[in-house]
Structure 1
Amino acid sequence: MNKFNKKIATIVVISMTTLVGLVSCNKNEVKSKDENILLDKYKVNEDSAKALYIEDLELKQINKNSSNRIVINKIKNISSFNISDIWLVYNELDSRGKIISESKMFLDMTLKPKDIFNASFNLKESSETINIIGYEYIADKNDITVNLKDDSVKISEKDIDIKDSYDYEVLDISDMEKLGSSKDGENYLVKVKNTSSKNLGNITLKIAELNKKGEYIRVYHESPYSALKPLEEADITIKSEKNANEVKIIGYIYDDIDSKSNIDIDLEANEAQVTKY
């Protein structure tokens, strides 16, 4: 990234602060008075750390007569930086407004600026309302917690080892080949090859499904093989849901047995999280 001189940096800060002022009137954003922080190599104030637009903080349109207890809410990254390891914090309430469940939903993915995720909440039978009360995520080695109940933001440095993924991308993943359709969705074949000289264990693919608008509708893990030897190749079958217009692999996880490390590859952000064990 090119270095900015002081004058340009000042303009960038002012521009981003102005942008935050324009969006701060949304019903699901909160006010903050804290000082500036550093996120994703951009100096922004804590208002910019409120990175998510959530379409509805309170969902009441739950059909009590339906066996389908799933409600969908649109989540959008309105910041200027990538956010990952996202947790949505919510309560389920009964007809009297009493909290019957305190829950979290984990999105094991990176949302780039303007990316949208359609979050599906699978509710309990006795639930009549869902209240989203906050969210958490990681950005540039910072843990960010936004509490929508008391209009607060908490930021703490996270002790994680994040590197450029180039040296850790040891899997060669082919394009997806469509095998056929079923009543539940589409079947695809993808070839995965260990291109390294290392033994890889506990291999897990991170798969995303998108709708016709390019919005994420589902993220899940597929663990087809426990290990791949150097230069070993494997065929993997992936099954998508019928409402998915596109399926793509957004990352993968593996154990580097030789170095005793767990490697979490994010293909969207081109980052690798390395954890020794």
Structure 2
Amino acid sequence: MKKLLKKSYVILIAAFIGIFTLAACTNKDDVKSRGSSLGSSADINEDSAKAISIENEEIVNISTSNENKIDIATRIENTSNFDISNILINYEEYDKNKNVISKSQSFLDITLNPNESAHIGFSHVKYADSIKIISYTYILANKSVFVDLKNDSVSITKNSAKIEDSKSYEILAMEEPYKKDDSSNLNNYKIKIKNTSSKNIGNITLKIGELNENGEYITATDISEYDILKPKEDMEIEIPVSQHAKKIELIGYSYDDVKENSNVKVDIKTHKVEINK
């Protein structure tokens, strides 16, 4: 089977290797215990839209020897009472004379429930001496929110993506992951998944969140299998985990519905689904 490994731009924060748990997609109460249910986007206003607390909006004295390397980071936290996803941080890079020499973005492909936090990393050009976060965007249900920190303004627009409850689309059952006996990498695991539906599904991608010892997200990994999984059929998927992870969580998955010719993306943390045809 072909496998695809994609890493979000999130800095890996050092932590000892530890025992981890994986929340099965069929156990919704365990996943929901990390946060509240999705808030109503109808209630959002300019004040409540400022949902993200950023530990360091400006980072100075950047090393010029690590061009395009993600070697600086800051901690962000969802301080709202609703879930936010598709978080995009926009920042400017400055030289030693405080001139803007580049504008960049860093994407966090993890839904943050209220009071959850993550570490997000930034790359930079060779002569950057500092960076400053100037704005951020996120998705809340059927709304797209843009918060401009530089001009202290907020823009809330309708999100065109079709979002609905994921209950009838959560069709994968999963067992606890286990270590490969023949693995030289102690952080290589396998997990067995089963198609509990009556549909043929393919292009299955698991989204795994890695957390540090403080329960903060440090990275998210997409792991894909391209084989068709028939009804009631199961398969094993290998999960590489970084040495910095203290714990991992299954935070979402996607698959292709062969009959409907659609891609189904399930967010386990909000129990919402996005369907693309």
Partner of residue 40, structure 2: 40
Q: How many residues align?
A: 238
RMSD: 2.2
How far, CA to CA, are the matches of 1:253 and 1:75 in structure 2? 26
Q: For residues 256 and 69 of structure 1, do their structure 2 counterparts lie closer, same or farther at Cα, with a shift above 3 Å needed?
A: closer
- 1:63 aligns with 63
Q: Note if 1:116 corresponds to 2:122.
A: no
Deviations 1:134-193 (A, max 9, x none): 110111210100011111100011122222111001111222223479897612111112
Determine which structure has the larger strand proportion and give its number. 1
Structure 2: gaps (5+ residues): 1-38
| Aligned partner letter, 1:63 | S
Question: In the alignment, residue 62 of structure 2 is paired with which amino acid?
Answer: I
Equivalent position of 1:146 in the other structure: 147
**CA distance in 2 between partners of 1:50 and 1:232 (Å):** 45
Q: Where in structure 2 are the equivalents of 1:77-96 lying within 5 Å?
A: 77-96=78-97
Whether contact under 8 Å (1:185, 1:241) holds in the other structure is no
Q: Which runs of 5+ in 1 are unaligned?
A: 1-38
Question: What is the identity, as a one-letter code, of the residue corresponding to 1:97?
Answer: K
Aligned position for 1:250 = 251
Which amino acid in the other structure matches residue 266 of structure 1? D
Using the size of structure 1 for normalisation, the TM-score is 0.79
**More displaced, 58-67 or 81-90?**
58-67
Using the TM superposition, name which of 239-248 and 176-185 deviates more: 176-185
Offset of residue 125 of structure 1: 2.8
Moved more, 223-232 or 205-214: 223-232
Is the 2:179–2:186 Cα contact (8 Å) retained in structure 1? no
Residue 198 of structure 2: SS of its match in structure 1? coil
Q: Work out whether residues 40 and 82 of structure 1, in 8 Å CA contact, stay in contact via their aligned partners in 2.
A: no
Once residues 206 and 231 of structure 2 are traced to their aligned partners in structure 1, the CA distance between those partners, rounded to angstroms, is: 18
CA distance change for structure 1 residues 40 and 132 in 2, over 3 Å: closer, same or farther?
Answer: same
Contact 1:62 1:128 in 2 (8 A): yes
Shift of 1:61: 3.6
After superposition, what is the alpha-carbon deviation per residue over 1:33-54, rounded to whole angstroms, capped at 9, x for unaligned? xxxxxx6267343211110001
TM-score, normalised with respect to structure 2:
0.79
Paired residue for 1:204? 205
- Asked if 2 retains the 8 angstrom alpha-carbon contact of 1:184 and 1:242, the reply is no
Counterpart of 2:128? 127
Alignment partner of 1:110: what SS? Answer: coil
Higher relative contact order (CA 8 A, sep 6+): 2
